[in-house]
Amino acid sequence: MFYFMFLLMLVPHELLSSTHVAVISPQDPVLPIGSSLTATCTLAPGLGLQAGSLFWTLNGLSVCSSSYSVLSPDTLSVTLHNLNGSQQQSGDNLVCHGADGHVLAGSCLYVGWPPEKPVNLTCWSRNTKDLSCRWSPGGRGETHVRTKYTLKYKLRWYGREKDCEIYSTGKQRYSCYIPSNLALFTPYEIWVEAANQLGSATSDITTLDILDVVTTDPPANVQVSRVGVLEDQLTVRWASPPELKDVLFQAKYQIRYRLEDSSEWKVVDDVGNQTSCRLAGLRPGTVYFVQVRCNPVGIYGSRKPGIWSDWSHPAAASTPISERLQSGSCDPKPGEQNSTLRRELKQFFGWVRKHASGCSGMSIKLYDQWRVWLQKTHKTRNKVDSSRR
């Protein structure tokens, strides 16, 4: 349509002074993909033009003259076969021109599909008082013509049907937001209706309770720091979600972390309701990226889990470099240590790492003491070795 209005600016003033220069029929038709169309351009009397001198363009490209027919001295038709979907929702521009190229009349063609049943309807709430929903177009997806989607909802057993009014645009255009006035402890029925001038379709009905679809923003202020001089541990801390500060619930957190040069994440599931975690068994002198997400559990006593939030923005920290790596010393040969002591330490180390991995607090203090003792032992050995040199 904007393209056609621009072309009209090119029409000579003396032609525009007439009541009608020419008329295209049908005007702005809506057609299914693959159909054919015959359109006519009828000149206004007294212009001194002949239908045989006219020509047609579609989206700025000339239409082959073999598809023209002169129906009368003042009427030229064109027949278009097997139409493709419109290149833009504002329609394709079919224009009738005079012999000198000036625009005489135009029409917008809307060619597309009728909508199919919308699918993948999902909803969530960030504070138990609002509701956001999104869906996907059904079937082929893009209809190529302007299609209206309406999200409808009602209380399951009573209450009148309501329309969602706040729709997103752009990439998130298949979504809608209900900001308030929602009931708790009562299920809702929610569905989406799609309609254009070629047809209509309705999604399946989704039944949900607001308390069962609560989620949060990702945890904020995620910080990662070293644990003193321990070279294989990092501490992660974060803030609980502010959206649910006035709601009775228990948050469940999950952590994932990876090496700087790796794309593989390791997930820690046993974080529980705490807002800090000790990661153990890490590689010394290595940068780790860490993310946290939240699942609100037991909202107002609900037995169903909420919906996991998105992962937080990555936070990073490095573990201390091992003293042994700094000194350049070599590991002792197997025969240089008491074999019984070595075997006991190996068993003890494996036991501690097994029980202290993730965020479990079991034996963390004992593990810390043992690690500090081990590092002091390495330092003492290195000093002795240096003095002997």
155 and 237 both lie in a single domain = no
Q: pLDDT tens, 186-209? A: 899 999 999 999 999 999 999 999
Residue 343 lies in a domain: no
pLDDT band at 274 (very low <50, low <70, confident <90, very high): confident
267 and 237 both lie in a single domain = yes
Token look-up 């032609």 returns 15
Strand order in the sheet with 68-72: 22-25, 37-43, 75-80, 68-72
Which structural domain, as residue segments, surrounds residue 30? 22-112
Q: How far apart, in whole angstroms, are the C-alpha atoms of residue 57 and residue 288?
A: 61
Residues 6+ apart with CB under 8 A from 175: 132, 133, 134, 135, 167, 168
Residue 169 lies in a domain: yes
Examine the pLDDT at 289 and tell me if it is beyond 60.
yes
Per-residue pLDDT at 194: 95
267 and 298 both lie in a single domain = yes
pLDDT band at 177 (very low <50, low <70, confident <90, very high): very high
Q: pLDDT tens, 93-137? A: 999 999 999 999 999 999 999 999 999 999 999 878 899 999 999
Per-residue pLDDT at 187: 92
Instruction: Identify which of 146, 85, 147, 89 has the alpha carbon closest to the alpha carbon of residue 111.
Output: 85
DSSP run (H or E) holding 357: none
Examine the pLDDT at 70 and tell me if it is beyond 80.
yes
Examine the pLDDT at 336 and tell me if it is beyond 50.
no
pLDDT band at 14 (very low <50, low <70, confident <90, very high): very low
HSE at residue 74, side-chain half, CA atoms within 13 A, is 10
Tokens at 7, concatenated: 């072309």
Q: How far apart, in whole angstroms, are the C-alpha atoms of residue 62 and residue 42?
A: 19
Residues 6+ apart with CB under 8 A from 153: 131, 161, 162, 164, 178, 188, 189, 190, 191
Residue 221 lies in a domain: yes
How many angstroms separate the most distant Cα atoms in the chain? 116
Token look-up 């001295």 returns 73
137 and 199 both lie in a single domain = yes
Residue 352 lies in a domain: no
Residue 350 lies in a domain: no
Q: How far apart, in whole angstroms, are the C-alpha atoms of residue 203 and residue 206?
A: 9
205 and 269 both lie in a single domain = no
Q: Of the candidates 290, 307, 322, which is a domain's last residue?
A: 322
> CATH number, domain at 67?
2.60.40.10
Q: How far apart, in whole angstroms, are the C-alpha atoms of residue 230 and residue 376?
A: 11
Mean pLDDT for the stretch of residues 352-369: 53
Residue 365 lies in a domain: no
Token look-up 């299609």 returns 147
